Amino acid sequence: MEPANKSEISPNSFLLMGIPGLEHLHIWIGIPFCSMYVVAVVGNVTILAVVRAEQSLHEPMFLFLCMLSVTDLVLSTSTLPRMLCLFWLGAHHIAFEACLAQMFFIHSFAAMESGFFLAMAIDRYVAICDPLHHATVLTHSRIAKMGAAVLVRGVAFFSPHPILLKQLPYCRTRIITHTYCEFMAVVKLACVDIGATKRYSLSVAFMIGSCDCLFIAFSYALILRAVFRLPSREARLKALGTCGSHVCVILVFYSTAGFTFLTHRFGHNVAPQVHIFIANMYLVVPPFLNPIVYGIKTKKIREHVLSSLRVKLS
């Protein structure tokens, strides 16, 4: 649905256009997005409740999973409700300050998501490659420090984004051809030279993403080497099944994020609707998949949820 009058944009607001060329399908596109959001919220809240209630789950893997769940909830909630209002209610206007806040939460918590994937890869490496020292290496104190480091990194590197954008003049247009306030989509609207600003943003995204991705790949390479040395075929298959599902979620996150990054840098010929659709997947699919892969497929969490349901039903 096109907005009725584009000239009504106030100086303190932007106009989100959604997915260009697919405006007539916005209502239908919103249905799977809403479904994934509901699953993401229910799944991640369930993980947090189960781990909090069950003392035996206060282990490194589940503590990192809780951090990932909180990140997923913030990341999806900062994006999906506003996007669904655009798709279903035609709510195109967004206040300038709200746009900057949304941008900060999206970029900083996406960086945190990457950091927690790395932390969980390190946990799996220690658990499989050095199981006897797992509890002494990853103490609660070290887990808290790792979580704090991921949080501080995300906030520190992406706090300058809204500050930089607040200083820019926007004398061309305030129409954002996107479904949410993404940094590169907003900065292009400025009527001054934005070369240095774009380079800073792309450099930070590349540095964080590539470093985390390399360390995750290295961790899982060492894990695979250890798994293939296990004497039992059943143990090898179990470990490969667990690691395989984790790697699939990580690949979805980094492949969509990498596509978005490369499109901003090199993909001038990529259709806008393709770019924006995949940019949405990058924020929607990981929060949807994480509680399924890390929660339902984890035996301890699955058993606790099923036992709780039996008690309530009886």
Does residue 2 surpass a pLDDT of 50?
A: no
Between 47-61, 105-119, 143-157, the lowest mean confidence (pLDDT) is in 47-61
pLDDT 10s digits, 196-253:
888 888 899 899 999 999 999 999 998 888 888 877 777 777 777 777 778 888 888 8
pLDDT confidence band for 299 (50 / 70 / 90): confident
Which distant-in-sequence residues (6+ apart) come within 8 Å of 265 by Cβ?
A: 202
Q: What is the mean pLDDT of residues 151-160?
A: 94
pLDDT confidence band for 7 (50 / 70 / 90): very low
Spatial CA neighbour of 285 closest among 128, 81, 72, 66:
72
What pLDDT score does 272 carry? Answer: 82
Q: What is the mean pLDDT of residues 172-186?
A: 86
Q: Which CATH number do you get for residue 189?
A: 1.20.1070.10
What pLDDT score does 8 carry? Answer: 38
Q: What is the mean pLDDT of residues 188-203?
A: 85
Please tell me the distance from the alpha carbon of residue 219 to that of residue 221, in angstroms, as a whole number: 5
- The answer to whether residue 6 is domain-embedded is no
Q: What is the mean pLDDT of residues 13-29?
A: 89
- The answer to whether residue 94 is domain-embedded is yes
pLDDT 10s digits, 120-130:
999 988 988 88
Which distant-in-sequence residues (6+ apart) come within 8 Å of 90 by Cβ?
A: 1, 3
pTM: 0.89
Residue 14 tokens, joined: 């932007």
pLDDT confidence band for 167 (50 / 70 / 90): confident
- The answer to whether residue 252 is domain-embedded is yes
- The answer to whether residue 40 is domain-embedded is yes
Domain count, the chain: 1
Say how many CA atoms lie within 13 Å of 164 toward its Cβ: 23
- CB neighbourhood size of 48 (10 A): 16
> 111 with 208: CB under 8 angstroms?
yes
pLDDT 10s digits, 61-91:
889 999 999 999 999 999 999 999 999 998 9
Spatial CA neighbour of 243 closest among 256, 230, 231:
230
- CB neighbourhood size of 34 (10 A): 16
Does residue 6 surpass a pLDDT of 60?
A: no
> 205 with 261: CB under 8 angstroms?
yes
Residue 20 tokens, joined: 């260009």
What pLDDT score does 314 carry? Answer: 57
pLDDT confidence band for 55 (50 / 70 / 90): confident
What average pLDDT does the structure give for the chain? 86
* % of the chain at pLDDT higher than 90: 41
- The answer to whether residue 152 is domain-embedded is yes
Residue 176 tokens, joined: 């954002």
What pLDDT score does 87 carry? Answer: 94
- The answer to whether residue 79 is domain-embedded is yes
What 3-state DSSP class applies to 174? Answer: coil
- The answer to whether residue 1 is domain-embedded is no
Does residue 9 surpass a pLDDT of 80?
A: no
Instruction: Give ∠ CA 106-88-95 in degrees, rounded to 5.
Output: 45
- The answer to whether residue 308 is domain-embedded is no
What is the domain range of residue 143?
Answer: 13-301
Say how many CA atoms lie within 13 Å of 94 toward its Cβ: 30
The residue to which tokens 């769940």 are assigned:
69
What pLDDT score does 36 carry? Answer: 94
